[in-house]
Structure 1
């Protein structure tokens, strides 16, 4: 009987330790207020940030293909997209590659800071997109 009691007590103690941090995190009143919307980005402007790569399944043929994403400060998109239904504007931007040459070019910069000149940008609309905004036409800017 004491073995059962000891097991139950150990289980309860473990559960209490797991729940306590979650509860204290929810009660944190020192959270910063929501930030202001990001500055606008229009066609022809430069977007800079860290380049990430992910593998996603292509909806057409089911193959795994690379997808590239820039993580940047929040930016507002031009009308009619605006803030992409976000409070501050999108922070993740998917770079759509139109050729194997563009994909190869990006591959060497994964994990590094890059800058791209944005020619066409819109809010993400397809359910499979991993970013908040999509840049369909862009060119890489070389740092000097």
Structure 2
């Protein structure tokens, strides 16, 4: 019985010695400091980034798939009261809501490319069907010279 106890004790001691450096290494791994919040974006300012197209199911017309447009950009802070949208650095993905078929067709031609839009109305995403962190409801496309 003493031999069994001594064997188990040696095993526990060995495992403890092996685990202690690993735990301290995890704590001191030199993790980067938390990112600073992005610069603010207000109505009338320009947002630039890559335009992505996604097919999502329409909340109103259950089962119908609709194209959703999203700009991926650097983190930005929204005007109060939205602020950082419950994120440390602010949203990086912005859903563009076309106001009609003309704007939707305009976006379709720029899928996968860098675009710039003038933001007129922006808010944090709040509906379950929204695929982005923030939603731009009023905007206009800026043509590159």
| Bucket of the pairwise TM-score, normalised by the shorter protein | 0.7 to 0.9
Aligned residue for 1:3?
Answer: none
CA displacement 1:24-71 (0-9 Å, x = unmatched): xx8892432211000000000000000000001111112100000000
Aligned to 1:82: 83
The match for 2:125 is 124
Structure 2 residues without counterparts, runs of 5 or longer: 1-25
Q: Which has the larger radius of gyration?
A: 2
Unaligned runs of 5+ in 1: 1-25
Distance 1:31 1:139, change over 3 A: same
Q: How far apart, CA to CA, are the structure 2 residues paired with 1:107 and 1:90?
A: 23
Aligned to 1:4: none
User: How do 1:1-144 and structure 2 match up within 5 A?
Assistant: 29-62=29-62, 63-144=64-145
TM-score between the two structures when normalised by the length of structure 2: 0.79
Query: Structure 1: which 4+ aligned runs deviate by more than 3 Å?
Result: none
- Structure 2 Cα separation of the partners of residues 28 and 110 of structure 1: 43
User: What's the RMSD between the two structures over aligned residues?
Assistant: 1.4
**Secondary structure of the structure 1 residue equivalent to 2:90:** coil
TM-score by length of 1: 0.79
